[in-house]
C-alpha cells in the first residue's frame, strides 16, 4: 500500500487534480469566513485580548493537523518524508514574522485572511489584498539589496524534535498541552478585557481537549516508524526491483549522466576512509557508515527535482544496504553502481593497470586492486573521457516525480 500523501496528478490527471485543489481551497476559505476571519475587527481584537477567536481557531487547526499527521505516520498510513516542511532561515524568519505582525495589527488582516475578506467584497479586505500584491512586487524589486541576509542562517528542514532532541510523541503532547493552556488563558483574558461570559461557552470543548490529549498520548505509545519499518512497508515492490537488476546502473551510464548538465548527480561512496583515499570516482562523496547516510537524509530530500542519487561500495554489498535506506526514507531516483567501484575500474582502467594491480580477494566488499599511493580521484580512470569508450549499456535512470514545496502558514 502506498502511504499518503498521494500524488493527485498521477492518480486523477492534471485538471481533475486541480478540481480537488479548488474544492479544498473553497472549503478552507469557507471555514475562515464563518469563523469571522473576513472581519478585520475580529482579527485585530486578538491583539487587545478582547476576542481570541483567531488564536483558538488557527492554533486548534494546527494542533489537530499535527496530531493526525503524526498519528497517521506512526500507523504507516502517511509518509512524513513526503510532507513538505518549509526550510528554516532563522533570522530572516524572525524579522519577517515581526514585520507581518505589525502589518496584521495595523491593517487588521494577514495575507490569507485579506483574500477571504476580499472574496466577500469587503472594502478594507480588497485594499489590504492589493497592498499585499504591491508588497510582493516591491520585495521582488528590492531583494537584491539584502539578498545576503535573506539567505542567511539557513538550517534546512529543522524541527522541534531535532532542536530539543526529544521523541516526536513527546513534542506533540507538549505542544497540545501548551495550546490548551493558551486556550484557557485566552478565555480568561477575553473575560477580563472583552467582558465575555464564559458560562455561555460550549461544554463540548472540554471533551475535544481530552480527545486531543489522548490522541497525543497515542502518538507516544505508537511511536514513529524506523528506517527498518519503512523498508518493510515497501519491501515487496522494491526488493523485486533489486532482484530484477532494475536499479543497478552500468558504470558507463553513470559516466554519461555525471556529464549531463541537465542532471544533478550525487554519488555517495559507502566505503572505509582508507579505500576511499586510495581511489574514488571524481566528485563522489565519502560516507563512512550507513548511520552517517541516515543522518544525511533530510539534506538529501532537499535536493532539486533533477537529482539522481547513486550509491557505491567496492562491490554491491554495502551499496545495496545504503540503497535500501534511501528508498525506505523516500529519497527519489536512487540507484546503485553495478559491480561497485571494482567494476568501474574494470571498465575504465587501462589493461596494464588491471593486469599488474589486480589482487585476489577473499571476502565481500573489498577493493580488488592494489594502489601504490592514496591518490583518490587523481587517477585518470576516476574521470575518464566518454569519447574514448564505446560501451553499449541498457539505460535505466528515470527521474521520479518529486513533491514540490506547498503553501503554508497564514500567508
Residue with the bigger pLDDT between 197 and 218: it is 218
DSSP secondary structure string for all residues of 73-116: HHTTSB-GGGS--PPEEHHHHHHHHHHHHHHHHHHS--HHHHHH
Domains: count for the chain: 2
- Give the residue among 89, 66, 73, 77 at the shortest CA–CA distance from 302: 89
**∠ at Cα 270 (311, 290), nearest 5°?**
100
In a domain, 127, yes or no: yes
Residue 116 exposure: Cα atoms within 13 Å on the Cβ side: 25
- pLDDT band with cut points at 50, 70 and 90 for residue 403: low
Whole-angstrom distance, CA of residue 383 vs CA of residue 375: 13
Cell of 149: 541576509
In a domain, 1, yes or no: no
- Give the residue among 259, 242, 221 at the shortest CA–CA distance from 319: 242
Residue 321: its pLDDT value, please? Answer: 97
Dump pLDDT digits (tens) for 253-267: 999 999 999 999 999
Dump pLDDT digits (tens) for 41-94: 888 888 899 989 888 888 999 999 999 999 999 998 999 988 888 889 999 999
In a domain, 327, yes or no: yes
In a domain, 83, yes or no: yes
292 with 359, same domain: the answer is yes
233 with 101, same domain: the answer is no
Percentage of residues in the chain having pLDDT higher than 70: 96
In a domain, 138, yes or no: yes
71 with 195, same domain: the answer is yes
In a domain, 154, yes or no: yes
Residue 85: its pLDDT value, please? Answer: 87
Of 226, 246, 261, the domain-final residue: 226
First to last CA, the chain: 34
Residue 241: its pLDDT value, please? Answer: 96
Of 226, 247, 273, the domain-final residue: 226
131 with 177, same domain: the answer is yes
pLDDT of residue 2 exceeding 70, the answer is no
28 with 167, same domain: the answer is yes
- pLDDT band with cut points at 50, 70 and 90 for residue 410: low
18 with 87, same domain: the answer is yes
Task: Name which of 45-49, 219-223, 406-410 the model is least confident about.
Answer: 406-410
For the domain that residue 319 is a member of, what is the CATH number?
3.40.250.10
205 with 266, same domain: the answer is no
163 with 251, same domain: the answer is no
30 with 174, same domain: the answer is yes
Residue 408: its pLDDT value, please? Answer: 53
17-24 mean pLDDT:
90
319 with 363, same domain: the answer is yes
Dump pLDDT digits (tens) for 351-375: 999 999 998 887 889 999 999 899 9
Dump pLDDT digits (tens) for 145-190: 999 999 999 998 899 999 999 999 999 999 999 999 999 999 999 9
pLDDT of residue 409 exceeding 60, the answer is no
Residue 11: its pLDDT value, please? Answer: 76
Of 201, 226, 251, the domain-final residue: 226
In a domain, 60, yes or no: yes
203 with 339, same domain: the answer is no
Helices (H), 108-165: 111-119, 123-142, 147-150, 160-164
pLDDT of residue 346 exceeding 90, the answer is yes
- pLDDT band with cut points at 50, 70 and 90 for residue 10: confident
In a domain, 404, yes or no: no
Helix axis angle, 168-193 to 53-74, nearest 10°: 170
Dump pLDDT digits (tens) for 99-135: 998 999 889 998 889 999 999 999 999 999 999 999 9
92 with 135, same domain: the answer is yes
Domain coverage including residue 258:
228-388
Q: What is the DSSP letter of 358?
A: B
- Give this prediction's pTM: 0.83
Long-range contacts of residues 9-13, Cβ cutoff 8 Å, at least 24 apart: 10/401
Amino acid at each position: 500500500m502506498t502511504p499518503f500523501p498521494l500524488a493527485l496528478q498521477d492518480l486523477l490527471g492534471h485538471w481533475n487534480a486541480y478540481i480537488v485543489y479548488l474544492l479544498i481551497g473553497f472549503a478552507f476559505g469557507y471555514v475562515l469566513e464563518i469563523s469571522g476571519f473576513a472581519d478585520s475587527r475580529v482579527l485585530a481584537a486578538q491583539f487587545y485580548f478582547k476576542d481570541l477567536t483567531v488564536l483558538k481557531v488557527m492554533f486548534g487547526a494546527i494542533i489537530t493537523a499535527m496530531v493526525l499527521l503524526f498519528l497517521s505516520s506512526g500507523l504507516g498510513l502517511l509518509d512524513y518524508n513526503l510532507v513538505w516542511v518549509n526550510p528554516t532561515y532563522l533570522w530572516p524568519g524572525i524579522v519577517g514574522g515581526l514585520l507581518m505582525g505589525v502589518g496584521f495589527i495595523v491593517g487588521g488582516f494577514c495575507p490569507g485572511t485579506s483574500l477571504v475578506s476580499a472574496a466577500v467584497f469587503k472594502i478594507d479586505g480588497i485594499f489590504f489584498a492589493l497592498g499585499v500584491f504591491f508588497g510582493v512586487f516591491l520585495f521582488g524589486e528590492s531583494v537584491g539589496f539584502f539578498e545576503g541576509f535573506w539567505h542567511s542562517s539557513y538550517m534546512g528542514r529543522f524541527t522541534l524534535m531535532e532542536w530539543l532532541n526529544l521523541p516526536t510523541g513527546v513534542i506533540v503532547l507538549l505542544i497540545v498541552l501548551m495550546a490548551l493552556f493558551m486556550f484557557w488563558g485566552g478565555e480568561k483574558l477575553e473575560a477580563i478585557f472583552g467582558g465575555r461570559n464564559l458560562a455561555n461557552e460550549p461544554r463540548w470543548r472540554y471533551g475535544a481537549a481530552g480527545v486531543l490529549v489522548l490522541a497525543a498520548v497515542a502518538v507516544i505509545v505508537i511511536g514513529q516508524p524506523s528506517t527498518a519499518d519503512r523498508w518493510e512497508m515497501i519491501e515487496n515492490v522494491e526488493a523485486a526491483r533489486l532482484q530484477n537488476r532494475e536499479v543497478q546502473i552500468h558504470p558507463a551510464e553513470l559516466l554519461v549522466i555525471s556529464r549531463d548538465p541537465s542532471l544533478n548527480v550525487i554519488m555517495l561512496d559507502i566505503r572505509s576512509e582508507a579505500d576511499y583515499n586510495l581511489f574514488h570516482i571524481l566528485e563522489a562523496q565519502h560516507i563512512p557508515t550507513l548511520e552517517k547516510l541516515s543522518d544525511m537524509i533530510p539534506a538529501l530530500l532537499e535536493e532539486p527535482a533533477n537529482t539522481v542519487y547513486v550509491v557505491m561500495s567496492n562491490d554491491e554489498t554495502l551499496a545495496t544496504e545504503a540503497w535500501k535506506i534511501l528508498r525506505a526514507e523516500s529519497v527519489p531516483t536512487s540507484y546503485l553502481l553495478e559491480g561497485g567501484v571494482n567494476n568501474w575500474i574494470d571498465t575504465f582502467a587501462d589493461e596494464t593497470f588491471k593486469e599488474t594491480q589486480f589482487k585476489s580477494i577473499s571476502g565481500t566488499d573489498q577493493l580488488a586492486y592494489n594502489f601504490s599511493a592514496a591518490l583518490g580521484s587523481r587517477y585518470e580512470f576516476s574521470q575518464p573521457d566518454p569519447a574514448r569508450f564505446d560501451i553499449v549499456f541498457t539505460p535505466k535512470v528515470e527521474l521520479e516525480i518529486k513533491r514540490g514545496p506547498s503553501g503554508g502558514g497564514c500567508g
